[in-house]
Structure formats: structure tokens, C-alpha cells
Amino acid sequence: MAICSIVALPAAEFTTYIGNATDHYVGGVVVDAAGNTFIAGGRVYAEGAFPYSDKRFEAFIKKLDSTGKTVLFTILNGGGSDAASTLAVDAAGNIYIAGGTSSSNLPLRNPLQATPGPGFLAKYSPDASQLIFSTYFPAPISALAVDGSGNVYVCGTTSSPTFPVTAGLPASSLVVIPPLVVISGAFLTKISAAGDHILYSTVIAGQTPDCYRVGCSVRAANTTGDAIGLDAAGNAYFAGTTDSSDLPTTPGAFVQKGTGAFVGKVNAAGTALSYLTLIGAGNYDYYISVPATRASALAVDDAGNAYLTGATADPKFPATAGAYQTTYAGSVSATPFGLPPTDAFVAKINSTGSGLAWATFIGGKLTDTAKSIALDPSGNVFIAGITASPEFPNQQGWMMSGGDFVLGLTPAGSSLLYSAQYPTGTVSQSVAVDPTGTLHVAGPTGLVSTVTQRGSPLMRVFGIANAAFGPVLGRVAPFEVVSIYGPHIGPAKPASFAPDGSGYVPRSLAGVQVLFDGGAVPLLYVSDSQINAVVPRGFISDSVRVQITSNGVTSPDFVASVISADPQIFQNPDGTAAAVNQDGSINSPDNPAAVGSVVAIWATGAGVLDQSPLDGRIAPSAYFFGCCEVAGLGSTIIYEGAAPGMVAGVVQINVQLGRNGTIQISVGSKLSGPVRINFKP
């Protein structure tokens, strides 16, 4: 992707929530040379009523300036469901988005394809006031790039036997014999700057599933196109994953036989495949064949070296001597129920595809997966993804552990430049680097941040989650108990509250206050990276300014969206409900509840309830209020109200169990996640 020529100075770090009361899902993030952040994805604009909640999305673009302020917003909506999975910005500042659509009435301008199809591509003017072109496309688009002339390169996955292919490039056969035999392939297509015709196009697919069990010959062979990149000479690169044993790799390729992650290169003229190589050869064969190494993202430098990242469970993945991590850290045994835990990986492939400059594992004993990759001006390599490994590198982290990570490798891949764990859902979806070396990161559900590579991170709110369960977002509901995450927002030594003689919860704890529109709120727990608090009862607007003061230092504003309710049930680490059986014993796998018995569970996020006498206090006794409905086969609510001995905002629900142990609660149209209660029929 080409970027503007303006030179930016390093900006202060920020975190913002780009969503509101509706769900926003981030497809990707890119930056320009001025330090502006561009985000594209899909946001919900319609959904069915509970319990059938079919959501429809509209594609969106947002641009944030270097301080995190929204300076551009537009949507693309064709009446069905449209979501952008990728975006790019060209040298003139024009904005391109692409993805998938089910709409039959997408706004079209100078279309390459006017017939509704599963993919779309659109180009906007720099201020998004003009739709320069928009078109349907014969397959959903996973990734795109733009060259200096404004030509657009897209890749993705297709199973259409009629997908366009141009002379000189491979045209792998795609077969569709429903329901079992469907051969899918990875496509790479170059489209003119006007968006009205194809300059070249290719489809790459294997034909034979890499499987040795009876019946494998009539199973689908899948090759996906997941990532794209360009070099300075105009060569195009694409990457993906195949489960076939006969991907048509090129002579002299690094790995010519096997399954898993691959990288291909098409010459600048679009007349030939320069190389196609696998990165590893391993797979696991249990009922079906599953590649041990999967690609997720690709970056390319000006010299034509390709940098691939993803996840691998292959102990024979070709990590190179001197790389940061040369051995696989997980277990090597597969089961009929899944692959072994994966490590993330990064591999630098030379410009001819004949070998690796370097390759490294990155991970611990549990599952680690990289989802995005970017290069900075010095050649350092940054990846973002998810981790379950407590020992995952965390040199610059401000949390003891977290479900997301950002990690930087030096140009030789031999050592870490940066590594940090973050709260789950805050940084894993996409990473980009601006000319100053500042990282621009996004979570999958709307949190966007900038992070400097060195120094202590800026004190700020990094996201807010329902304390019972749920993703880290930027939304709150009245009377909700929330967990607020951020670097250095509280004391190094954690502190928990004690109520005063009248049962009130303190609004200042260990030198910390949390302010909602300037008013201090009840605090339950404070630490360096997490604060648990109770959201105030009422708001005038649909948003609220959240600030934290800690020992005289005040964080920047974090603007949270206010929603009516966000009901969630408190859970144990294994995902079961924190529940008490009818006899007062703790519900557990070894101590299940009987069908027909009454079980007590606890929730928060039920919204404004008749709790005025309890506001900011510990509930001294039962206090009934109607708030919730229960979804569960034959389950019935016996009591719903204040939870004696707990802070107002925690709701106790006594449920008579029906015919299964899975429970959900709803407040109006808001539905909690499903939670299992241990029960015996």
C-alpha cells in the first residue's frame, strides 16, 4: 500500500472505542504517513428479536487523527449484510474497502460486475464524500493492496469453476459436486485504477486432500487466499493455507510437497507465476486431514522479501538457526477432538521463494496465534494475535497476563524488540506501523489504540468489560459492575474495598477515584492494571466520559457508550456458572444439581432497576425486583433481586432447573452468553 508523503512527529498514545450501542467488528487497520488511523469493518444496523437474533451489517470506514479523534466516517449498505474485511489508502489519500456482501442493492458506480455477488470492492475520495467506484465481485475478498498507479490487487477464496483467469497464469480446476466434493482455490486478481476491468487474475488450488482414510477421495480439497502484499517493483504476493497434497508449487520452490501455509508471487506484468512455495509440510490426520501450519497475514518489503505469520503445531516447522525461538513449545500429540496447541510463527521468505532468510516459533505451552503483521521503516517486524500461554513474552506488558499480544522482532528475527500482553479483545485483530514507529492496533470489536515501542505506556483506560463475563469494549450499562483495564491506573499493590458502617462502598480507594462525567463511583478493587467499579445509576446522554485519578495523576478521557442493559452471569474459570445448589453447597462437576431443584446464580448488567435504596451500598437483605427472563429448557425463575451481602448492581437469580443445564438470561432484547450449570438428570 502506498502512503502519503507528509512526515509526522510521534504523537501521544491514545485508546478509543469506535463503536456505540451497536456491535462493531473491525476488519483491518492501516495508517498514513501523517499518523492517521483508518479502520474498516462491519457494524450491526438490524437484528431479529430475541431469541432469534439474526444480525445484518453495513460496511463502515472510520478515520482517526493522531490524537484518536474521529475525523471521517462513512457507511456502505445495500440492504442485506455488508462487511469490510480489508482496506487500503493510496498515495493521494483515496480509501479502498473490500469484503463480503449478501445485498442485492449495493450502491454501484462504474462497476466491474453489476450482478449481485458474494464480494464487493469500493473506492472513496480522501474525505469519503465521493464514491469513485463500487462493484460486486465474484467471491468474497479477504485482502487488498493498491500500487502507486491506483491499481487494486485483491485475494480471497473461490469455488466457482467460472472465476476469471488470464493468460499466462495458473488456472487450477475447481470442481463442485454437492454436497461432499467442493474444490476451493485461492485467487489473486489485479483490477484497473478505474475499477472497471481486470488486468490479470489467477486461481491456485490443489485437487487431492492430504488424507489416507477411507472416504477421503470424495472429500473437499480446500485452498484459501488470506493475505496480500506488493513490492517496490510491482510484483504481487499472496498467501494462504491448503489441505491438499498436490498444490502446484513451482520448480525450485523452498517446499514443493506437503500441506499448510503457502506464499505465491506474480510478476509485475501479470504474465507468470514467479514462485509458489509451501512453508512447511506437516499435517495431522484424524478423521480428516488438518494442516499443521496455517497462514494468516503477509507483509512484503521493497526488496521482495515476504514475511508470513500465522500459527503452527508442527514441531518440524523450519525454524532457522539463530532465530528468536527455534523449537516448538507446545505438545506434539493430536487427539480426535483437535490439533495440539499452536505456536505463532514468523517466516521471512527470500525474493525468489527458494528459501528462508529466517523463521521462528513464538509461543508457550498453550495456544498462540498471530493474526496480523506489519513492518516499520527500520525493517523491524511486528505481529499481533492471541495467546493462552502464561509464559508468552511480556517484556513491555502492563498486565501480568492477557489474551492478546503485540510482539516486535528485530530485522534478523533473532531477538525481541517489543513484547506485551494485553486484555483479550483489545489489540489482536490488526497492527500497522506509521513512519515514526508508533504501532496502531485494534481489537476485533472496536477498541483502537496507538502504542509506542519504548518507554512506559501512558496511563489511560484501555477498555471496559462486564465484570461477570464478556469482551473488553467501551460500553457500560447503569448499575453494571465493570472491570476497567489500563496501564498504571492504580496502585502497584492491589487493594479491595471494605464498606463503611452503613454498608456504603467507598468512592476513593488506595488513592484512586474513577469519575463518570466528573462524579466518583463506587470502587470494589484497584490495582496497577485493573479496577472493578459500579457504574452510576443514571445518565443524561448516550455516552459518558470516564477518567481515573491515581495519586494525583489523571488519565485522558475515555468516552464510553451507554446502553440500557448488558446482562451477564458470573462464571467459574471453566465456564460454568458460579452457582449454589438448593442445599447451600457449591455447584460443581462433582456436586451437580438435580433437575427440578433450585439453584442460585448471580449476574450483573441488568440495567436501571428499582434499587434506589441500595445505590452504592451492600444489600442487607433480599429485595425483589423484576428484571430478567431465563432461556433454558423448562427452567423457571423463582427469585430475582438484590443479592444479600453483595453490592447493588449484582443481581441474584434463583432458578428451578429444567431439562438441561444451560442457562441464559435476557433483559428486554439484551441476551447474556450461555452458561452451563452442573446438573444430573
In angstroms, what CA-CA distances link 562 with 530, 607, 615? 20, 10, 18
Q: What share of the chain has pLDDT > 90, as a percent?
A: 76
The C-alpha cell that represents 179 in the structure block: 454436497
Where residue 286 falls among pLDDT bands split at 50, 70, 90? low
Three-state DSSP at 373 gives strand
Write out pLDDT tens, residues 139-164: 999 999 999 999 999 999 999 999 99
Assess whether pLDDT exceeds 80 at residue 7: no
Alpha-carbon span 507 to 521, nearest angstrom: 5
Assess whether pLDDT exceeds 90 at residue 209: no
Mode of pairing for the β-strands spanning 131-137 and 636-642: unpaired
Taking CB atoms within 8 Å and a gap of at least 24, the contacts of 178-182 are 180/218, 180/219, 180/220, 181/218, 181/219, 181/220, 182/220
Nearest to 658 by CA among 633, 680, 681, 640: 633
| Phi/psi-derived region of residue 390, left when phi > 0, alpha when psi is between -120 and 50, beta in every other case | alpha
| Phi/psi-derived region of residue 138, left when phi > 0, alpha when psi is between -120 and 50, beta in every other case | alpha
Three-state DSSP at 178 gives coil
Burial class (CB within 10 angstroms; exposed 0-12, middle 13-18, buried 19+) of 4: middle
Given this model, what pLDDT does residue 176 score? Answer: 66
Q: Select the highest-mean-pLDDT range: 171-180, 212-221, 387-396.
A: 387-396
Alpha-carbon span 292 to 104, nearest angstrom: 38
Where residue 608 falls among pLDDT bands split at 50, 70, 90? confident
Alpha-carbon span 93 to 101, nearest angstrom: 25
**Structure pTM?**
0.93
Given this model, what pLDDT does residue 4 score? Answer: 34
Given this model, what pLDDT does residue 288 score? Answer: 64
Given this model, what pLDDT does residue 335 score? Answer: 53
| Phi/psi-derived region of residue 5, left when phi > 0, alpha when psi is between -120 and 50, beta in every other case | alpha
Write out pLDDT tens, residues 629-672: 887 657 888 998 899 999 999 999 999 988 777 888 888 778 88
Q: What's the residue count for the chain? A: 681
The answer to whether 260 touches 293, Cβ cutoff 8 Å, is yes
Summary mean pLDDT of the chain: 91
Given this model, what pLDDT does residue 213 score? Answer: 54
Please state the rounded mean pLDDT for residues 553-581: 93
For the chain, helix, strand, coil in percent to 5 are 0, 45, 55
Assess whether pLDDT exceeds 60 at residue 51: no
Alpha-carbon span 468 to 532, nearest angstrom: 11
Assess whether pLDDT exceeds 80 at residue 67: yes
Given this model, what pLDDT does residue 77 score? Answer: 96
Please state the rounded mean pLDDT for residues 669-677: 86
The answer to whether 456 touches 488, Cβ cutoff 8 Å, is yes
Alpha-carbon span 261 to 282, nearest angstrom: 10
Given this model, what pLDDT does residue 285 score? Answer: 67
